Structure 1
Amino acid sequence: MRKVTAFAGLGLAAALVLSGCAAEAEAPADEPTMEQPAPEAEAPMIDTVNSDGANLRAALTALLADHVYLAGAAINQALADGGDLETPAVQAAVAALDENSVEVAALVGSAYPDAEQPFLDSWRSHIPFFVNYTLGQATGDQELADQAVADLNAYAVSFGELINSVVPELPAEAVQAELEMHAVTLLAAIDANIAGDPAYFDLLKEAASHMPMTATALAGGIAANLGLQ
């Protein structure tokens, strides 16, 4: 089998002011009075649901999961249309996938504006490798399929280096490993689709199930880099 070397809630510190009920008769001057000490302020709490870091992680998770399913849909349509990438159905599927790429890049750009276009250019570049692998496997062109795997290997390395150059808290090797897992699982789904194996659907789901881990890694590094909670 091939081997693809692969983002407060401010805790409210409320001082409780206690007032005693006024008595109708004035208390004797020598009667001792007791004051109740104010309670200590509560420690601030971090909102891990609505924080900027959590919102970034959630948005990345959704978009990356969509990426897997949209890629699967485009490849499935291309196979259904006999490998013709120019049919209206295939073109529509490819356009939806590219719109997702633009959305992922825009999310990265919301944190690092100067990195948005380089990220988009890089992200777009790996999608044709999956197409080439599909065409190679479907037509028996092993050289084309093998070259696509090699291209995905090289892409994982270059993408890791790109992300690390923007977010030093994210090691290039860790990002590379996430991309390798993405490639391995999606290629397995493509193989099943070409073979007409019903396991295709479970394998595509498995490929998508890895995206939350990728989103957590990326969002965590960005949050650390920008000081987000």
Structure 2
Amino acid sequence: MKKIYTDFVEAVEGIQDGMTLMVGGFGLCGIPENLIQALAEKGTKDLTIISNNCGVDDWGLGLLLQNKQIKKIIASYVGENKEFERQLLAGEIEVELTPQGTLAEKIRAGGAGIPAFFTPAGVGTPIEEGKEVRMFNGKEYLLEEALTADVSLIRAFKADKMGNLVYRKTARNFNAMMAAAGKVTIAETEEIVEIGDLDPNFIHSPGIYVQALIQGEQEKRIERRTTRG
């Protein structure tokens, strides 16, 4: 049985100033929105955030940006967040932009216990600066180090009480790999079911990666709504 919280603020109580967090989601799809709101309410600061992007101005990780709770972000995309852009240009936040595939592999490698790997992405660009370059089969590759986190905040569709997780469609995105790469993983899920109710053949994240669960309803906001006239 995993620890199951009923209060989101209590669930993030162990997150302290200066910690490194992985936060699942892609844009606003599959973000642990209630855990993020609780962290904003708690006021934890000087955080290093590893995430695909940083939400939008008034939702998701954008809430932590507004509160100046983020010291550094490792991401692949500045996106639609004007406050993120403003803080970056003003030098108020440290940003490590990483090619999206490289970011995904750095997280996956961290979860698999692989300390580093070589990739061709970024060769000959500013991403190469300060990194080892090695030739394989006549092609240059960069050495990239894996990423891990003190805590991973992720979002699932269903969980059982052993912490086994199932994601729904594209909301799976970065969540599964981040679940493996956090020293502590807290999963926000839409439903918690009894042990044995999930088909073992369709579990995406085994419960061994998950330390705590909390069930909650999500708004599931749309980052950019596009309609046909």
- TM interval, shorter chain, is under 0.3
TM-score by length of 1: 0.23
TM-score by length of 2: 0.23
Larger C-alpha radius of gyration, 1 or 2? 1
Going by fraction, where is strand more abundant, 1 or 2? 2
Going by fraction, where is helix more abundant, 1 or 2? 1
Structure ranking higher on relative contact order (CA contacts 8 Å, 6+ apart): 1
